[in-house]
Amino acid sequence: MTSPLGELIELRTARSSARIAPLAAALLDLSVDGHRLAETTPPTRLPAHGHGIVLAPWPNRVRDGRWTHEGEVQQLDLSDPSRGNAIHGLLRNTAYRIRERGEAFVELEARIHPQHGWPFLLDTSVRYELTDDGLTVTHAAFNIGSVRAPWAVGAHPYLRVGEVALDEVRLEVHADHYLELDDRLVPVAVHELADAPELDVRSPRPLSELDLNVAYEGVRTGPEGAASLIAPDGSRVVVWQDPAFRWLQAFTPRDFPHVAADGSEAPTLAVALEPMSAAPDALNSGEGLAWLEPGEQWEASWGIRYEEAR
pLDDT score recorded for residue 88: 97
**Residue 159: domain span:** 9-307
How many angstroms separate the first and last alpha carbons of the chain? 45
The pLDDT assigned to 251 comes to: 98
* pLDDT, position 128: 98
Model pLDDT for residues 213-222, shown as the tens digit of each residue:
999 999 999 9
Residue 1 covered by a domain: no
Please report the pLDDT score of residue 236 as a whole number.
Answer: 98
Residue 4 lies in a domain: no
Q: Say if CB 109 and CB 101 are below 8 A apart.
A: no
Q: Tell me: the pLDDT tens digits for 127-164?
A: 999 999 999 999 999 999 999 999 999 999 999 999 99
CATH, residue 270: 2.70.98.10
Whether 24 maps to a domain, the answer reads: yes
| Whether pLDDT at 1 is above 80 | no
| In a domain? residue 2 | no
- Average pLDDT over every residue of 164-183: 96
Q: Classify residue 142: in a domain, yes or no.
A: yes
Q: Quick one: pLDDT at residue 16?
A: 98
Is the pLDDT at 262 greater than 90? The verdict is: no
Confidence category of residue 275, pLDDT binned at 50, 70, 90:
very high
Q: What is the pLDDT of residue 249?
A: 98
Does residue 100 form part of some domain?
yes
> Does residue 161 fall inside a structural domain?
yes
Sign of CA dihedral 140, 110, 251, 118: positive
Number of structural domains found in the chain: 1
Average pLDDT, the chain: 96
